[in-house]
A and B are shown apart, each in its own frame.
Chain A
């Protein structure tokens, strides 16, 4: 039985870091993730962890610090948000292509402009092709649980992992949470002893090679395979975590989908609101269901096809926009997954929602289901690229 506590999402992440006791943290503050290094630096100062805490002058340097440390052979972590994540982007690609399993906590936030500190997924979605595994949390509990699984996943496939939660909505809201005991966490996460590392005197290595055209593509194909392989690892680690805590995880979560005719596909904290809407609709006799994406990278294409192939209509909810005059990234990838699998019966629409902290209410989600019912009844999708709750 775990330890019952009340923590904000940022506190929960910092607590998970403390329990894991990683070797190096490169840190630069930015709202709303600032509290993570802030709380963690207290653990460092109190001697509760052995971590080398390196305050740097920018997020670019924070990620560079992590790359150097992880390549040297130790566990490296950081935390960031919004433009901080964007500023890290160059180094995010290096971390992934150098195959360094760094762990980055992201409290997601909108990007400028207009300047805005509130939640959406523009930052994490903006770096979705950087080669990082990306897990998204609905609740503080999931943010904590995902963090405890991150290093097991990343180290198994030699890829870095981003643990995303919704800025302010979960990062600052205090919720009941069940923590795992320190000894159980340490046993679950294990120690990090790479066979080769820059500081490994026995087995020397060179990192950061220049990959000419005759090598670059083979290198990238192998990196792509690591992301494909990550799917099974995420499932296996999620099940093992369930055996320890009673909370199991997969790539997606299906909610009341068994006989669903209308489904919403959503990611992050708004899944909680959408589940409540599903419960209301079910009580009214409607066949509403929900699919929550936990792993955006790797993208759970097969799982989503399986979940959606029998619905009449679905809405992909993107908490950011690609500004491509077409659709958000989640809709694009779901539609591609269905098409590639030859499943063209479900009618799909896309909602851009919750940008810059725009409140997502039960009524908002119910409006989406009302549209889906119309589409299911008429077979006509109309405009597929829609904005939710925007003033006309």
Chain B
């Protein structure tokens, strides 16, 4: 059968070789796609204003604000972050600023 992993499916694949239904024969394939590229606005953390209240962490729809072992939030995971700005909206201290994404 035609069991392929994400890395084996590319834009040159023929109809005979593509997987049925474009199914992908592995899990966690989001690791291979930089969906953060869709972002037009980028959240930037001003650490001097951040009180580590952690209100931003659970509201992120893409789990792009990681928790560190010391119980503090880490830097944004820009590989997944879509720049929706919810974190900035919930921050009571103005510690997250949304700036235009530039390439």
- Residues of A in contact with B (beta carbons under 8 Å apart): 97-99, 158, 195-196, 203-209, 211, 214-215, 217-219, 221-223, 225-226
Interface pair A99/B21, CB less than 8 Å apart:
yes
Q: A196-B3, A215-B9 are in contact. Are A99 and B14 (CB under 8 A)?
A: no
Instruction: Please give, as numbers and ranges, the residues of chain B lying within 8 Å of A217 by CB-CB distance.
Output: 15
**Least CB separation from A217: chain B residue:** B15
A158 interface neighbour in B14, B16, B20, B25, Cβ under 8 Å: B20
Interface pair A209/B3, CB less than 8 Å apart:
no
Q: A195-B1, A195-B3, A196-B3 are in contact. Are A222 and B20 (CB under 8 A)?
A: yes
A-B contact count (CB 8 A): 61
Task: Pick the 6 closest A-B CB pairs, nearest first.
Answer: A221-B15, A209-B22, A204-B27, A218-B15, A99-B20, A206-B24
Q: Which label, helix, strand, loop or mixed, suits the secondary structure of the B interface?
A: loop
Interface pair B13/A218, CB less than 8 Å apart:
yes
Q: In whole Å, how far is B20's beta carbon from the nearest beta carbon of chain A?
A: 4
State A222–B14 Cα separation when bound (angstroms): 9
State A49–B17 Cα separation when bound (angstroms): 39
Interface pair A206/B9, CB less than 8 Å apart:
no
Instruction: Please give, as numbers and ranges, the residues of chain B lying within 8 Å of A219 by CB-CB distance.
Output: 15, 18, 21-22
Instruction: Please give, as numbers and ranges, the residues of chain A lying within 8 Å of B77 by CB-CB distance.
Output: none
Is B102 among interface residues, defined by CB-CB distance under 8 A?
Answer: no
State A204–B24 Cα separation when bound (angstroms): 9
Q: In whole Å, how far is B14's beta carbon from the nearest beta carbon of chain A?
A: 7
Interface pair B15/A204, CB less than 8 Å apart:
no
State A351–B26 Cα separation when bound (angstroms): 51
Interface pair A205/B23, CB less than 8 Å apart:
yes
**Least CB separation from A224: chain B residue:** B15
Q: In whole Å, how far is A69's beta carbon from the nearest beta carbon of chain B?
A: 16
Instruction: Please give, as numbers and ranges, the residues of chain A lying within 8 Å of B52 by CB-CB distance.
Output: none
State A274–B2 Cα separation when bound (angstroms): 46
Interface pair A218/B18, CB less than 8 Å apart:
yes
**Least CB separation from A195: chain B residue:** B1
State A218–B16 Cα separation when bound (angstroms): 8
